[in-house]
Structure 1
Amino acid sequence: MHFRTEIPITQNSEKISLHTPVLTIGSCFAEVIGQKLIDTKISALANPFGTVFNPLSITKLLRQALLYQLPDDALYLENQGISFHYDFHSSWWAATQEELKAQLTQQLHQVRDRLLSAKWLIITLGTAYVYRELTAGHIVANCHKMPNKQFRKELLPLQTITEDFRQLYALLRAANPAIRIILTVSPVRHTRDTLPLNAVSKSILRVACHELSESLEMVSYFPAYELLLDDLRDYRFYKSDLIHPNEMAEEYIFQKFSEAYFDHSLKQFTKEWQKMRQEMAHRPQQPNTAAHRSFLENLLKKLQMISGTVGVDAELDAIQQQLQAIKY
């Protein structure tokens, strides 16, 4: 007897290894996946532009990075004495436009370097709805809490999304022929659009991902959206806002991702590393004892053994500090 519908995940022929450079970009779910890759000690750059929900803003930023373009001067704004840019998340801000421009330009250059070296680019699409700033006529990535009357909400047509992505794909392949792209649709529900319109939006994104993954050689699709809505399918897998997946759901989805995309050696390393992370998170009831010192010394040896493979300087320092603090 089965009580849920599990989704079989297609095993990708090309795999991610421990030292594979990865870039994630898109909605907040791209940040979750990116951070979990970093926590696994994979060389990942996670959502470097901040949360970007719509596909056209994502491709625009990647295109600007590849082509060494500066942030659009027409899209800087000031709100309550702080400078923002309509193409970037509000986590990017500065006291002056000049200071912000320097920060954004540097970040675009960093992303370009990663795009040229990356073996995998993970793009998470959040919504097919966009907001167009009426003065300049540009689609924006973030409205930065400016008045609603300054924007017009639009639903992107499927063809616009796919044609724009194909243009980016050609640029990416020309700059880095080895790069592979994983498309996902964020399982986070945009309830502000209303649930019926969120379904319309996600449907367009899902069809776009299907068309692109079926027609482009180096593009695949990972069903993060379906894993939450069709496999887990219960509010106990959501945070209290009933919109975002909770930690249990994120871990389950990442587990499915690793099964599909990690190579054998990375899967083995991940198992060992998770055990060490659990040991490092252990909080002893009797810290100032010989037994706890022995526990820390054994953990220190394990970290030293892998220090030539992955960077664990911070973890080594933390364990050594704990050892120095023991007094008995």
Structure 2
Amino acid sequence: MQFHTEFSPESFPNRIALNSRIVTIGSCFAEVMGRRLSDHKLTVLDNPFGTIFNPVSMAKLLTMSLNATLPDENRYVERAGIWFHYDFHSSLWATSKDLLRSKLIQQLSDTNTAIRQADFLILTLGSAVVYRHIDTGKVVANCHKMPGKLFEKYLYQIDHLRDDMNRLLKTLRNANPKLTVILTVSPVRHTRETIPLNQVSKSLLRVMAHELTIWNDWVVYFPAYELMIDDLRDYRFYEADLVHPNKQAHDYIFGKLAESAFDASLCHFVAEWSQVSKSLAHRPLYDDTSVAHRQFLAKLLAQLEALSKKVDVSAELAEVHRRLEKCVMHDA
């Protein structure tokens, strides 16, 4: 008897390998997946502009980056002595406008370099609901807790979303012809926009993503949203806020991503690295200087040295050496 509708996403035509370079842009779910990929030793630039929910701002920032456009001087805002920029998330801040400008220019430059070298770009679309700064008439990526009266909230039309994304894809293709774009719709529920409006918003994003994959054979879709809504389909897979997927959900969705997107060698490495990661996290219950624990550390050291031929494990090697030195010092 089945108690849920399990499905497996289609396999990607281009698979992610251990040496693939990846950039993630978008909602907080993009950051979660980016962190998972990074934890498995892939080369990832994870959400360099901070959490960005709407496709309008994603397209603008990536285009600015690839065209080497400077941040708009009229979009800086100061609140309680801290400076922000309306085109970026509030995690990018500084104590002066000049310092923030330098930080944002560096982020744009780093993203430019990463996109041109990347094999995959994961774009996670969060919401089609946008906030427009009334004085300038421009959509903001983040309101930075400024008074609500400064903004107008509305649902962005699908035709405009499609136009923005098509222009972005053309820019991406010109910058890096070998790039594969992976589109996802974030499973995070934007209930503050009301549940009915959230559903309309997600529907617009899903339709747009489908059309983009039909028109561009180098753009693929990963159904993170569908896995959360139709496969898991239970509040036990959400955090206490009933909005964000919890660790179980992230584990499940990442596992499906691996099945769909990873090549055979990467799948093998991920399984191997998962075991090594568990060993790294292990702490002896009683004596961390015992003979048995030293043998355990020596075996772990050998595993890491073997893996060092494939990936950078310098930090992990240093940690195991530190633990072994503690055993030696104990003997002395």
Counterpart position of 2:204? 204
- Amino acid aligned to 1:31: E
Counterpart position of 2:40? 40
Please say if residues 8 and 256 of structure 2, whose CA atoms lie closer than 8 Å, have aligned partners that are also in contact.
no
Instruction: Tell me, in whole angstroms, the C-alpha distance in 1 between the residues paired with 2:257 and 2:125.
Output: 16
Please say if residues 189 and 198 of structure 2, whose CA atoms lie closer than 8 Å, have aligned partners that are also in contact.
yes
How many residue pairs match? The answer is 328
Deviation at 1:288, TM superposition (A): 2.1
Counterpart position of 1:57? 57
TM-score, structure 2 as length reference = 0.98
Q: Where in structure 2 are the equivalents of 1:291-306 lying within 5 Å?
A: 291-306=292-307
Instruction: Tell me, in whole angstroms, the C-alpha distance in 2 between the residues paired with 1:323 and 1:114.
Output: 37
Deviation at 1:179, TM superposition (A): 0.4
| 1:311 matched to 2:312 | yes
Indicate the percent of aligned positions where both proteins have the same amino acid.
Answer: 50
Structure 2 gap ranges (5+)? none
Deviation at 1:7, TM superposition (A): 1.8
Deviation at 1:306, TM superposition (A): 1.1
Which digits, 9 at most, give the CA deviation of each residue in 1:67-101, with x for residues without a partner?
00001111000001111000111110111111100
Instruction: Tell me, in whole angstroms, the C-alpha distance in 2 between the residues paired with 1:174 and 1:91.
Output: 30
Instruction: Tell me, in whole angstroms, the C-alpha distance in 2 between the residues paired with 1:239 and 1:193.
Output: 18
Q: Say which SS state the counterpart of residue 146 (structure 1) adopts.
A: coil
| 1:276 matched to 2:292 | no
Q: Say which SS state the counterpart of residue 256 (structure 2) adopts.
A: helix
Structure 1 gap ranges (5+)? none
- Amino acid aligned to 1:308: K
Counterpart position of 2:171? 171
Q: Say which SS state the counterpart of residue 240 (structure 1) adopts.
A: coil
Q: Say which SS state the counterpart of residue 132 (structure 1) adopts.
A: strand
Q: Say which SS state the counterpart of residue 122 (structure 1) adopts.
A: strand
Counterpart position of 2:285? 285
Please say if residues 126 and 188 of structure 2, whose CA atoms lie closer than 8 Å, have aligned partners that are also in contact.
yes
Deviation at 1:8, TM superposition (A): 2.6
Which digits, 9 at most, give the CA deviation of each residue in 1:2-23, with x for residues without a partner?
1110123101121010010100
Please say if residues 180 and 218 of structure 2, whose CA atoms lie closer than 8 Å, have aligned partners that are also in contact.
yes
272-281 or 1-10, larger mean C-alpha shift: 1-10
Which digits, 9 at most, give the CA deviation of each residue in 1:200-229, with x for residues without a partner?
111111111111111112111100001011
Deviation at 1:299, TM superposition (A): 0.0
Which digits, 9 at most, give the CA deviation of each residue in 1:140-188, with x for residues without a partner?
0000000000000010111111111111111111111000101000000
Instruction: Tell me, in whole angstroms, the C-alpha distance in 2 between the residues paired with 1:8 and 1:36.
Output: 19
TM-score, structure 1 as length reference = 0.99
Which digits, 9 at most, give the CA deviation of each residue in 1:40-67, with x for residues without a partner?
1001111011000000000100000000
Q: Where in structure 2 are the equivalents of 1:125-144 lying within 5 Å?
A: 125-144=125-144
Instruction: Tell me, in whole angstroms, the C-alpha distance in 1 between the residues paired with 2:207 and 2:305.
Output: 48
Give me the CA root mean square deviation.
0.8
